[in-house]
Amino acid sequence: MTFDLQNVWNRRESLRAINKQKMNSIEPMPIHVMAWFNVMLAKIIAHWNDAGENSAVISGKDLLGRLLKVFKTQVNANEWLKALDTLCLPNIQGAMNFLLFTEDDEHYLVNYPWIRNYMDSELGKQWAPALRMMYGLNVGALREPRKGLESQWVLWLKENMNRGENANRRGA
């Protein structure tokens, strides 16, 4: 299966259906797993900024590679899968949902609107300096969507993928 942006755009309704189908509760994470999320977000942002036409999709293998490089430790497979699921499932506060599911268990869609919301939040403004201090990661700013299909994709995500979750947050 290919995951260039045109292919993703053509499959947007089926990708939306997959994500709606997979909605379930987020399991509590051990504290050491919680430390993974901002490192993974830093990798997602770097990918979005640098991957050109493939910026809308990232592989779990790339995320795991970054995690292993930073923490230099073994990763429990069950915890890893829960962490990826947590990054794909919206929570009430909107602090996660940085990724969206695809038909393929190895690839994930970058959920730009939720990353932007997080980056603009107080919590998001605090994490970049902390990552530099703790892990020596240089976290750059999240670039704006490029003109054309990428900006259409981001607009579609804002209008379609997050509609129900936004209503949940307003009602909470």
Count up the domains in the chain and report the number. 1
118 Cβ neighbours under 8 A, 6+ residues apart: 41, 94, 95, 98, 124
Contact 127, 29 (CB under 8 A): no
Which residue range is the domain that position 56 belongs to?
5-171
State pLDDT tens for residues 25-63. 666 778 888 888 888 988 999 999 988 878 899 999 999
| pLDDT at residue 150 in the model | 92
State pLDDT tens for residues 89-110. 775 554 578 999 999 889 999 9
| pLDDT at residue 144 in the model | 93
Rg (the chain; Cα; Å)? 15
Region at 89 (left for phi over 0; alpha for psi -120 to 50; beta for the rest): beta
Region at 153 (left for phi over 0; alpha for psi -120 to 50; beta for the rest): alpha
Q: Is the pLDDT of residue 166 over 50?
A: no
Q: How far apart are CA 155 and CA 111, in angstroms?
A: 11
Q: How far apart are CA 141 and CA 127, in angstroms?
A: 12
Contact 118, 98 (CB under 8 A): yes
State pLDDT tens for residues 10-28. 999 999 998 888 876 666 7
CB atoms within 10 A of CB 106: 11
DSSP letters of 47-85? HHHH-GGGTTEEEHHHHHHHHHHHH-S---HHHHHHHHH
Q: How far apart are CA 79 and CA 77, in angstroms?
A: 6
Q: Is the pLDDT of residue 172 over 80?
A: no
Q: How far apart are CA 94 and CA 49, in angstroms?
A: 22
State pLDDT tens for residues 111-146. 999 899 888 888 888 887 887 777 777 777 889 999
